[in-house]
């Protein structure tokens, strides 16, 4: 077992540091250019969906209701595409709206609508000092939307079961707290899935704000890498509590088929669906139905998607394993890092020695390894303990990844030793 670095003598640490720096400089001299910064599929994953562009998938361009998908019309998606997402999210097709290519845009737009027109009460923009709860570490693009609209973000810590629900119960007594934004399954970046108990407590929330909304970003609902986690269906859980109007669920095929050329969807209560459709009639005549038909013909149903996701998993599992094996080999037992072991999603969350995340990322950068910026997993980019780093192992090849993680581990240790020596 490795020795805990914080327990080492100064001499031991200095000797270790010297050895690490020699290794580091060797890597630096290679002039590498490796990117582990964003949750992008690798080129081999994209190949899995190449048949999506086959013309045969579009037949005579007719949707199941006889509608010509080439022409104008059908606001909320062709019936068979609504049904596909209904299966994926386990909700009735009537509670689904199919949009364009990105769930991010759906979320932005939903919050924009709440700002301009409210969610059953005064427009949020007319209520001073409104807040959202943000389970942390979390997704930087969620935080960017909230910051853009001037919504104050309040951190809620997360553990293996999800966010601290006692804290949330307390915070939502403030009617300025208008909602929560979260990734309940294979969370970005920790990869954890909310426990049944956590989901039930979400379904039982009693917010002071009557115009409260939870953005339930189920981006990774079918993105298993190891033994699949199971997420309790939030709308099922709400059947006992009557809270279904609080929840707006979104997902997309971005990491199932092609990022940027996939199809995104929203699931919500009948009340929310009616409200959203009401303003959609002003926004659009309809989204890309050809791409919707293409996706349904390619995947057919939920079982088809599950089978396809096994192919993604076969590519991703060795990458996740490579990162975790390197962490085990180089960081375990040293008292300077902790990390999650996700069963799915696109990320691993790495906590380095307190006060060392920025330094670690900078050291990596200097050696040609780009990581997600330190702090990005916190609202306003402020990780007060300066320790969380989001690891995105999917985009590089496995060889590049192994090299990148080897360098990362060296940087984690260098930064930690320098911090310990400072103290």
Q: Which is nearer to its own copies, 21 or 149 (CB)?
A: 149
Q: Is 108 in the site for its own copies (CB under 8 A)?
A: yes
The least distance separating its own copies from the CB of residue 411, rounded to whole angstroms, comes to 26
The least distance separating its own copies from the CB of residue 377, rounded to whole angstroms, comes to 17
Q: Which is nearer to its own copies, 63 or 203 (CB)?
A: 63
Distance CA 319, CA 323 (A): 6
Q: Which is nearer to its own copies, 60 or 227 (CB)?
A: 60
Binder to its own copies among 8, 32, 121, 290 (CB under 8 A)? 290
Q: Is 260 in the site for its own copies (CB under 8 A)?
A: yes
Distance CA 51, CA 234 (A): 34
Q: Which is nearer to its own copies, 158 or 291 (CB)?
A: 291
Q: Which is nearer to its own copies, 147 or 301 (CB)?
A: 147
**With CB under 8 A as the contact rule, which of the stretches 8-16, 25-33, 108-116, 130-138 interacts with its own copies?**
108-116
Q: Is 129 in the site for its own copies (CB under 8 A)?
A: no
The least distance separating its own copies from the CB of residue 102, rounded to whole angstroms, comes to 5
- Under a CB-based contact definition with an 8 Å cutoff, are residues 34 and 370 in contact? yes
Distance CA 20, CA 187 (A): 33
**With CB under 8 A as the contact rule, which of the stretches 201-209, 244-252, 257-265, 356-364 interacts with its own copies?**
257-265
- Under a CB-based contact definition with an 8 Å cutoff, are residues 137 and 374 in contact? no
Q: Is 288 in the site for its own copies (CB under 8 A)?
A: yes
Distance CA 257, CA 52 (A): 8
Q: Which is nearer to its own copies, 49 or 158 (CB)?
A: 49
Binding positions for its own copies, 27-86, rule CB under 8 A: 38, 40-41, 43, 46, 49, 53-55, 58, 61, 68-73
**With CB under 8 A as the contact rule, which of the stretches 166-174, 219-227, 287-295, 362-370 interacts with its own copies?**
287-295
Q: Is 344 in the site for its own copies (CB under 8 A)?
A: no
- Tell me the CA end-to-end span of the chain in Å, nearest whole number: 25
Q: Is 152 in the site for its own copies (CB under 8 A)?
A: no
Q: Is 145 in the site for its own copies (CB under 8 A)?
A: yes
Q: Please report the sign of the dihedral spanned by the C-alpha atoms of residue 388, residue 392, residue 396, residue 400.
A: positive
Helix (H, G, I), strand (E, B) or coil at 165: helix
Measured CA to CA in angstroms, residue 7 lies from 10, 11, 190 at distances of 9, 12, 28
Measured CA to CA in angstroms, residue 150 lies from 118, 127, 275 at distances of 15, 12, 24
- Under a CB-based contact definition with an 8 Å cutoff, are residues 360 and 415 in contact? yes
Measure CA 6 to chain center.
Answer: 33
My answer on whether omega of the bond before 170 falls inside 30° of 0, hence cis, is no
- Burial of residue 230 (CB within 10 Å: 0-12, 13-18, 19+) is exposed
**What is the binding site for its own copies (CB under 8 A)?**
38, 40-41, 43, 46, 49, 53-55, 58, 61, 68-73, 100-102, 104-105, 108-109, 112, 115-116, 125, 141, 144-145, 148-149, 254, 258-261, 279, 281-291
């Amino acid at each position: 077992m490795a020795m805990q670095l914080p327990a080492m003598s100064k001499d031991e640490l200095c000797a270790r540091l010297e050895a690490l720096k020699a290794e580091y400089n060797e890597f630096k001299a290679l002039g590498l250019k490796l990117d582990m910064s964003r949750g992008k599929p690798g080129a081999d994953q994209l190949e899995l969906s190449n048949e999506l562009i086959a013309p045969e998938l579009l037949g005579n361009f007719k949707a199941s209701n006889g509608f010509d998908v080439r022409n104008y019309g059908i606001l909320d998606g062709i019936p068979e595409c609504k049904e596909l997402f209904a299966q994926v999210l386990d909700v009735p097709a009537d509670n689904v709206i199919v949009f364009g290519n990105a769930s991010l845009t759906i979320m932005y737009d939903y919050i924009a609508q709440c700002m301009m027109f409210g969610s059953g009460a005064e427009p949020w923009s007319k209520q001073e000092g409104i807040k959202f709860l943000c389970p942390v570490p979390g997704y930087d693009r969620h935080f960017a939307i909230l910051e853009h609209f001037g919504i104050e973000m309040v951190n809620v810590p997360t553990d293996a079961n999800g966010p601290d629900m006692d804290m949330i119960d307390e915070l939502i007594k403030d009617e300025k707290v208008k909602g929560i934004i979260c990734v309940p399954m294979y969370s970005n970046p920790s990869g954890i899935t909310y426990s049944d108990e956590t989901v039930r407590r979400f379904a039982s929330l009693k917010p002071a704000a009557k115009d409260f909304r939870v953005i339930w970003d189920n981006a990774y609902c079918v993105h298993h890498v190891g033994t699949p986690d199971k997420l309790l269906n939030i709308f099922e859980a709400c059947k006992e509590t009557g809270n279904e109007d609080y929840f707006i669920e979104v997902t997309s095929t971005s990491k199932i088929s092609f990022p940027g050329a996939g199809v995104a969807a929203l699931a919500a209560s009948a009340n929310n669906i009616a409200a959203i459709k009401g303003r959609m009639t002003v926004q659009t005549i309809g989204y890309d139905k050809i791409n919707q038909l293409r996706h349904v013909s390619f995947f057919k149903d939920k079982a088809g998607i599950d089978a396809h996701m096994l192919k993604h998993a076969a590519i991703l599992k060795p990458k996740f394993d490579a990162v975790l094996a390197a962490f085990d080999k180089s960081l375990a037992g040293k008292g300077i890092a902790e990390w999650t072991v996700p069963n799915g999603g696109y990320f691993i969350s790495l906590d380095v020695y307190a006060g060392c995340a920025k330094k670690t990322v900078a050291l990596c950068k200097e050696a040609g390894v780009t990581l997600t910026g330190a702090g990005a997993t916190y609202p306003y980019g402020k990780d007060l303990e300066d320790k969380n780093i989001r690891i995105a192992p999917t985009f590089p090849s496995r060889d590049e990844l192994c090299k990148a993680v080897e360098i990362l581990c060296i940087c984690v240790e260098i930064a930690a030793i320098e911090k310990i020596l400072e103290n």
